[in-house]
Amino acid sequence: MVVGSCALFLAGDMAVLPVKDADIVPDPSPQNLDCLWEALTDMAVTAWRVPPRGRLGTLDVVPVATVYGKVDCLLERGRADFDDLLSRASLAPVADAEVAVASEADCRRLRSLYKGR
Protein backbone atom coordinates (compact mmCIF):
# COMPACT_ATOMS: atom_id res chain seq x y z
CA MET A 1 0.00 0.00 0.00
CA VAL A 2 1.25 3.46 -0.89
CA VAL A 3 1.53 6.05 1.91
CA GLY A 4 3.19 9.45 2.21
CA SER A 5 3.29 12.22 -0.37
CA CYS A 6 2.91 9.78 -3.26
CA ALA A 7 -0.37 8.53 -1.75
CA LEU A 8 -1.59 12.09 -1.23
CA PHE A 9 -0.71 12.87 -4.86
CA LEU A 10 -2.56 9.75 -6.10
CA ALA A 11 -5.57 10.86 -4.04
CA GLY A 12 -5.55 14.20 -5.87
CA ASP A 13 -3.73 16.44 -3.37
CA MET A 14 -1.54 18.42 -5.75
CA ALA A 15 -0.20 20.57 -2.89
CA VAL A 16 2.26 17.81 -1.94
CA LEU A 17 4.38 18.24 -5.06
CA PRO A 18 7.09 17.37 -5.71
CA VAL A 19 6.88 13.69 -4.86
CA LYS A 20 10.47 12.56 -4.33
CA ASP A 21 9.95 8.88 -3.57
CA ALA A 22 7.34 6.19 -3.02
CA ASP A 23 6.72 5.10 0.56
CA ILE A 24 5.06 1.73 0.78
CA VAL A 25 3.68 -0.30 3.67
CA PRO A 26 3.70 -3.91 2.49
CA ASP A 27 1.44 -6.73 3.55
CA PRO A 28 3.72 -8.52 6.05
CA SER A 29 2.73 -12.06 5.04
CA PRO A 30 5.69 -14.29 4.11
CA GLN A 31 4.27 -14.84 0.62
CA ASN A 32 3.97 -11.12 -0.01
CA LEU A 33 7.43 -10.38 1.37
CA ASP A 34 8.77 -13.00 -1.04
CA CYS A 35 7.04 -11.22 -3.95
CA LEU A 36 8.30 -7.86 -2.68
CA TRP A 37 11.88 -9.14 -2.55
CA GLU A 38 11.64 -10.42 -6.13
CA ALA A 39 10.14 -7.14 -7.37
CA LEU A 40 12.74 -5.03 -5.57
CA THR A 41 15.56 -7.20 -6.90
CA ASP A 42 14.19 -6.90 -10.45
CA MET A 43 13.80 -3.10 -10.22
CA ALA A 44 16.84 -2.20 -8.13
CA VAL A 45 19.57 -0.19 -9.78
CA THR A 46 22.03 -2.36 -7.86
CA ALA A 47 20.34 -5.62 -6.84
CA TRP A 48 23.05 -6.48 -4.32
CA ARG A 49 21.81 -3.56 -2.19
CA VAL A 50 18.46 -5.29 -1.60
CA PRO A 51 18.67 -7.15 1.74
CA PRO A 52 18.59 -10.95 1.63
CA ARG A 53 15.14 -12.43 1.06
CA GLY A 54 14.77 -13.84 4.57
CA ARG A 55 15.64 -10.53 6.29
CA LEU A 56 12.73 -8.45 4.95
CA GLY A 57 10.45 -9.75 7.70
CA THR A 58 12.80 -8.46 10.40
CA LEU A 59 13.86 -5.03 9.14
CA ASP A 60 12.19 -1.69 9.92
CA VAL A 61 12.77 0.37 6.78
CA VAL A 62 14.40 -0.69 3.52
CA PRO A 63 15.22 2.10 1.04
CA VAL A 64 15.85 0.90 -2.51
CA ALA A 65 16.99 2.93 -5.50
CA THR A 66 15.03 1.49 -8.42
CA VAL A 67 15.01 2.21 -12.12
CA TYR A 68 11.76 4.14 -11.42
CA GLY A 69 13.08 6.15 -8.47
CA LYS A 70 13.52 5.66 -4.74
CA VAL A 71 11.18 3.32 -2.86
CA ASP A 72 11.07 3.24 0.93
CA CYS A 73 9.61 -0.03 2.20
CA LEU A 74 8.17 0.65 5.67
CA LEU A 75 8.27 -2.94 6.89
CA GLU A 76 7.77 -2.22 10.60
CA ARG A 77 4.62 -0.22 9.76
CA GLY A 78 3.46 -3.19 7.73
CA ARG A 79 3.86 -5.54 10.65
CA ALA A 80 2.18 -3.11 13.05
CA ASP A 81 -0.51 -1.38 10.97
CA PHE A 82 -1.12 -3.01 7.59
CA ASP A 83 -4.62 -4.38 8.24
CA ASP A 84 -5.72 -1.20 9.99
CA LEU A 85 -4.40 1.04 7.19
CA LEU A 86 -5.90 -1.23 4.54
CA SER A 87 -9.35 -0.99 6.14
CA ARG A 88 -9.45 2.74 5.24
CA ALA A 89 -7.46 2.62 1.98
CA SER A 90 -8.83 3.13 -1.50
CA LEU A 91 -7.67 1.85 -4.87
CA ALA A 92 -6.04 4.09 -7.46
CA PRO A 93 -5.20 3.20 -11.06
CA VAL A 94 -1.45 3.22 -11.71
CA ALA A 95 -0.36 2.07 -15.16
CA ASP A 96 -2.08 -1.29 -15.69
CA ALA A 97 -2.83 -2.03 -12.03
CA GLU A 98 -4.90 -0.82 -9.12
CA VAL A 99 -2.80 0.16 -6.13
CA ALA A 100 -3.96 0.39 -2.52
CA VAL A 101 -3.54 3.97 -1.30
CA ALA A 102 -3.72 4.87 2.39
CA SER A 103 -6.39 7.38 3.40
CA GLU A 104 -5.47 11.05 3.53
CA ALA A 105 -5.96 11.06 7.31
CA ASP A 106 -3.63 8.09 7.74
CA CYS A 107 -1.00 9.62 5.47
CA ARG A 108 -1.08 12.87 7.40
CA ARG A 109 -0.98 11.04 10.75
CA LEU A 110 2.06 9.00 9.67
CA ARG A 111 3.80 12.11 8.34
CA SER A 112 3.29 13.92 11.65
CA LEU A 113 4.60 10.91 13.60
CA TYR A 114 7.69 10.33 11.49
CA LYS A 115 8.47 13.62 9.78
CA GLY A 116 7.13 16.09 12.31
CA ARG A 117 4.71 17.70 9.85
Domain that holds residue 64: 2-115
* Residue-level pLDDT at 64: 95
Query: Domain count of the chain?
Result: 1
- H/E stretch holding 37 reads helix 30-43
Q: Which residues of 54-78 are buried (b: 16+ CB within 10 A; e: fewer)?
A: eebeeeeebebebeeeebbbbbebb
Residue ranges for the chain with pLDDT beneath 50: none
> What's residue 70's pLDDT?
94
Residue type, 108: R
Query: What is the per-residue pLDDT for 10?
Result: 85
| pLDDT tens digits along 21-44 | 999 999 999 999 999 999 999 999
Flag whether the pTM goes above 0.75: yes
Q: What is the pLDDT of residue 95?
A: 87
